[in-house]
């Protein structure tokens, strides 16, 4: 059925290894509606595994940055197999021990922590973006399944009417009113209708399997879907006329990620400047036997280290980081412009779908009236059976078109709800990933 936007999950989600199921099977309702499927999928779907683990990796980076606030310690020991000999030293040593910190810069550590925290926030927004895309696809699947159920019922009526037409054509052939070719055409039309019905049922099965894979269910776990309330749950109380571009910009993960990336780059500029500052180093060590000194004990020292000349690499690095900052600022503007364009296109699509739906519903109402008129004429013996069947077929066709246009409208509303962020924030928020 070309009119349907069949759900195609990313290959990574289909081929990802199964994760341990964090939601017990009994939490999947029987039958499961959209709300239940969405909540289960957000907790265990392999579609979100990579982005969720990315947050954990970045949190480990944060812990590494926090440890940089304390100077690292390095212990170096050395034992001399041949004891150094100096007649002026009474008890020469044959070993040395040194504990050093290496270069230590607490300001650099503070900025590094800022960087890693910003990267963690970007990873969190990336995870929210993945969940938003997944929920939109899941919503499309439920809306399509809901429409398919109605279309299958209408197509079943069309098949029955086509078979009635075949029987009527055969009777008229016996009376010599129709040729064998006309009967064959009627029979072929019935077969086409039956084949279309089977194609709809196959599409229905494909969508159900796609939802099952997306939810990350085990092979032996049954899943029955309740799609009668799909439209109410998928679209919720979202009102397209009250949604605005400003809200979409505030919630857009693409724009916010670019904004966070720009903020991250400001820290990188500061880090590049910090490389001009000297680094502190500490040391606690025993005398080196090779110095052949009579001094004994352990000695503590404090020093500063800083590069003198590096071919102006540090200066060029500051310019490089500032240039990258300008690039990120430009990318943020591009993402904002793209969102504005998408929002305008989505609103136009919604308006067109609403107009087409009104026309289709009016045509369906008209076809219903003509069907009633045909039944009245048939019962009054003013018209033959073909008029009755034709009226019913026209009504089924008009109602089928109305269901398709209704699906187009619902998908357009869903797209606006997705762009506004209303759908994903109904089920998740980035604050829940903070520790």
160-209 pLDDT, tens digit per residue, is 998 988 888 888 888 887 788 988 988 998 999 999 999 999 999 999 99
The architecture of the domain spanning 27-427 is Up-down Bundle (1.20)
pLDDT of residue 10: 42
Comparing CA positions, the residue from 39, 47, 44 lying closest to residue 13 is 47
Query: Using alpha carbons only, how large is the chain's radius of gyration in Å?
Result: 36
Residue 3 pLDDT exceeds 50? no
Residue 251 pLDDT exceeds 80? yes
Band (93; pLDDT cuts 50, 70, 90): confident
What angle do helix axes 106-174 and 49-67 make, rounded to 10 degrees?
180
pLDDT of residue 89: 61
pLDDT of residue 314: 87
Residue 19 pLDDT exceeds 50? no
Band (286; pLDDT cuts 50, 70, 90): confident
pTM across the whole model: 0.82
Task: For 19, list phi and psi in degrees, rounded to 5.
Answer: -90, 155
What is the mean predicted confidence (pLDDT) over 239-267? Answer: 92
Percentage of the chain lying above the pLDDT 90 cut: 49
Band (352; pLDDT cuts 50, 70, 90): very high
Residue 15 pLDDT exceeds 60? no
What is the mean predicted confidence (pLDDT) over 282-304? Answer: 82
Comparing CA positions, the residue from 171, 194, 59 lying closest to residue 117 is 59
Per DSSP, the chain holds a count of helices (H) and strands (E) of 11, 4
pLDDT of residue 411: 96
CB 400 within 8 A of CB 151: yes
């Amino acid at each position: 059925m070309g009119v349907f936007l069949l759900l195609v999950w990313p290959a990574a989600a289909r081929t990802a290894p199964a994760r341990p199921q964090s939601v017990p099977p009994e939490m999947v309702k029987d039958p499961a509606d959209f709300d239940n499927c969405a909540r289960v999928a957000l907790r265990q779907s392999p579609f979100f595994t990579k982005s969720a683990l990315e947050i954990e990796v970045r949190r480990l980076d944060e812990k590494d940055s926090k440890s940089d606030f304390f100077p690292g310690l390095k212990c170096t020991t050395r034992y001399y197999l041949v004891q150094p000999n100096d007649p002026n030293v009474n008890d020469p040593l044959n070993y040395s021990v040194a504990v050093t910190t290496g270069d230590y810069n607490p300001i650099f550590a503070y900025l590094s922590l800022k960087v890693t925290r910003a990267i963690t926030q970007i990873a969190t927004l990336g995870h929210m973006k993945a969940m938003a895309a997944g929920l939109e696809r899941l919503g499309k699947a439920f809306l399509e399944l809901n429409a398919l159920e109605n279309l299958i019922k209408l197509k079943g009526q069309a098949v029955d009417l086509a078979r009635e037409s075949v029987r009527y054509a055969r009777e008229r052939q016996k009376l010599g009113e129709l040729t064998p070719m006309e009967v064959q055409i009627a029979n072929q039309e019935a077969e086409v209708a039956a084949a279309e019905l089977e194609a709809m049922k196959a599409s229905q099965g494909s969508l159900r399997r796609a939802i099952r894979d997306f939810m990350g269910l085990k092979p032996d776990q049954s899943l029955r879907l309740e799609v009668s309330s799909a439209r109410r749950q998928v679209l919720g109380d979202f009102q397209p006329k009250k949604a605005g571009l400003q809200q979409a910009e505030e919630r857009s993960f693409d724009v916010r990620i670019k904004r966070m990336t720009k903020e991250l780059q400001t820290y990188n500029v500061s880090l590049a400047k910090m490389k001009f500052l000297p680094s502190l180093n500490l040391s606690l060590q025993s005398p080196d036997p090779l110095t052949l000194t009579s001094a004994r004990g352990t000695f503590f020292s404090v020093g500063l280290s800083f590069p003198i000349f590096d071919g102006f690499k540090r200066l060029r690095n500051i310019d490089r980081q500032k240039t990258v900052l300008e690039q990120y600022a430009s990318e943020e503007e591009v993402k904002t412009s793209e969102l504005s364009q998408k929002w305008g296109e989505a609103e136009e699509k919604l308006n067109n779908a609403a107009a087409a739906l009104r026309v289709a519903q009016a045509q369906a109402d008209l076809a219903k009236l003509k069907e009633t008129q045909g039944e009245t004429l048939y019962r009054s013996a003013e018209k033959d059976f073909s008029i009755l069947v034709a009226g019913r077929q026209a009504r089924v066709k008009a109602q089928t078109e109305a269901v398709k246009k209704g699906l187009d409208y619902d998908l357009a509303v869903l797209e606006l709800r997705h762009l506004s962020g209303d759908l994903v924030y109904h089920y998740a928020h980035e604050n829940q990933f903070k520790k």
